[in-house]
Amino acid sequence: MRCPRCDDPVVIVEHHEIELDHCLSCAGVWFDGEELALLFAKAQIDIAPDLASILAEPALDDDTVERIGEAWRDCPRCGDRMDKVPVGDDEDTRVDRCDAGCGLWFDGGELRSMMRHLNDAADGALERAVAFVEEVFPVDDEPTEEPA
Ligand SMILES: [Zn+2]
Ligand SMILES: [Zn+2]
């Protein structure tokens, strides 16, 4: 699979028996269909209702995406253009979602932003989830340097 953002090949990251596709160049993360729910289930974190509400958010319309200057990304599985889905009222976090149900793409740092946002909304009840995500993606905020 290639990164929908920079077209580099992604690597498979395995953590707690969950396999995720991770781009080392831009620090983005791809979740196939149910992997995100599986990740939280493995971490024994029950945030399914919050997550479901995010994934059910209506996508931004084309005009809004153009106005805020977001780049469209094509689904790395089926090649269709993905939807932009806002996470709550967090202006900086917009997840790419394949309308065909292939999965979700988080740009580098977006997954952590989403978790922090959910955690704030839940009055800190999701600290474990935040810690788990940061354990899986310790360098999520900064793209990994290419080895010389
Ligand atoms: Zn990339
Ligand atoms: Zn797709």
- Which pLDDT belongs to residue 42? 67
* 121 phi, psi to nearest 5 deg: -65, -25
Residue type at position 84: K
In which domain, by residue range, is 117 found? 33-136
The pLDDT value recorded for residue 92 is 65
Note whether residue 132 is domain-resident. yes
pTM of the model: 0.77
How many structural domains compose the chain?
1
Residue 121 covered by a domain? yes
Would 20 be classed as within a structural domain? no
Question: How many angstroms separate the alpha carbon of residue 104 from the centre of ligand 1?
Answer: 14
Assigned domain for 148 exists: no
pLDDT class for 120, splitting at 50, 70, 90? confident
Asked if the structure places residue 24 within a domain, the reply is no
Residue 99 lies in a domain: yes
Residue 29: exposure state from Cβ atoms within 10 A (0-12, 13-18, ≥19): buried
**Ligand (nearest to CA of 2):** 1
Alpha-carbon span 15 to 19, nearest angstrom: 7
Q: Is residue 14 part of a domain?
A: no
Q: Read out DSSP for 75-121?
A: -TTT-PBPEEEEETTEEEEEEEE-TTSSEEEE-TTHHHHHHHHHHHH
pLDDT tens digits, 53-103 = 666 778 889 998 888 888 899 999 999 999 998 876 656 678 899 988 888
Q: Is residue 25 part of a domain?
A: no
How many whole angstroms from 30 Cα to the centroid of ligand 1? 10
Q: Which residue has the higher pLDDT, 73 or 148?
A: 73
